[in-house]
Amino acid sequence: MCRRPSFFDLHEQGRTRPTLAPARQRRSDCFLGQFAVVRRCRRRSTGAEYAAKFIKKRRSKSSRRGVTREDIEREVDILKEIRHPNIIALHEVFENKADVILILELVAGGELFDFLAEKESLSEEEATQFLKQILDGVLYLHSKGIAHFDLKPENIMLLSRSAPHPRIKLIDFGLAHKMDFGNDFKNIFGTPEFVAPEVVNYEPLGLEADMWSVGVITYILLSGASPFLGDNKQETLANVSAVDYALDDDFFGGTSALAKDFIARLLVKDPKKRMSVQDSLRHPWIQPKDTRQALSRKESAVNMEKLKKFAARRKWKVSVSNVSVARSDDTLVTPERAQSGRRMSPDASLQLGRWDFWTSQN
């Protein structure tokens, strides 16, 4: 009898989607990933700036480098279908011999968690204003039968930091799928800390998997701790499968009962019993029903000390991963060229049609 594949088996053997837990470099002008680079670009006729995502095409069926045309087309088809204030917008698609290039809305405000970690204090009321935007984006996707399947802090960005009320943008639809509710869909992909138990256990997947990820994101946002993170991938995935987490006072001492209830209703093993995005938006922590609930949310605070430490640890891990990615693929922009603070100018070797693509230089 054949043993079904485990998440860890496939992750280690490299048989998963190439975007699984990608190492990345986010700078003001460059994003570095395993099989993708994102650069700033400019439409020559107007001077308007966008982001250009270069996705390296897989050259042959036997190759494991690059992304298959099927996967690229799925991402493009989904991006073409969606238009929402809290989701990154696709403007144009074209390709050259090596890459498919997506011209996307420029989301220049950085990651939400980095922005919040710079604050001195943050009430739950303020935190829920950002979380509601995330839920609004997810509600729109789910209304179209689209599951993101890769919701995590790195994929929750701000359009601009300078706005009085910064707008959330959900990005990176490389793992997103349009669900066919007549057929079981199983796959093993995503980032171990944020995947739902049904992913780990190779069970049918649906929109509910995104709501588990929202629960993990909320847990981290309030406490600065990752609920299922183990010493290695195997331990992390075992914790996810067992729904082994706690709301310790060291991390949740100042957290309201409503916030804890919100998390508990999302981190449920049975997808059918997990809170939907519609129910999440109606939850009294997001939409208080009376003055007492509103006051509880206003007086309860995010654990900023722990959140700052979480953000610092994650930045360190990403910087270490970037060195590995840059060394493994010499066609990618190197970390040295991607350093922030360098003078920017159009790269003469990266001018396609009416677009200029930007890199840093000394």
Of 282, 274, 206, the closest CA to residue 243 belongs to: 274
172 tagged catalytic:
no
To 5 degrees, how large is the angle CA 172–CA 175–CA 180? 130
- Kindly tell me the burial class for residue 173, based on how many C-beta atoms sit within 10 Å of its own C-beta (0-12, 13-18, 19 or more): buried
**313-to-26, 32, 246, 332 alpha-carbon distances in Å:** 15, 19, 21, 25
Whether residue 19 contacts residue 174, with contact meaning beta carbons closer than 8 Å, is answered with: yes
Integer Cα distance of 212 and 207 in angstroms: 10
Q: Which of 99, 114, 150, 210 is catalytic?
A: 150
> Within a 10 A sphere around the Cβ of 351, how many other Cβ atoms?
13
Residues in the chain: 362
110 vs 89: CA distance, rounded Å: 16
Torsion of CA 191, 273, 201, 220, to 10 degrees: 30
Tokens 């390709």 identify what position? 95
Q: Which residues are catalytic?
A: 150
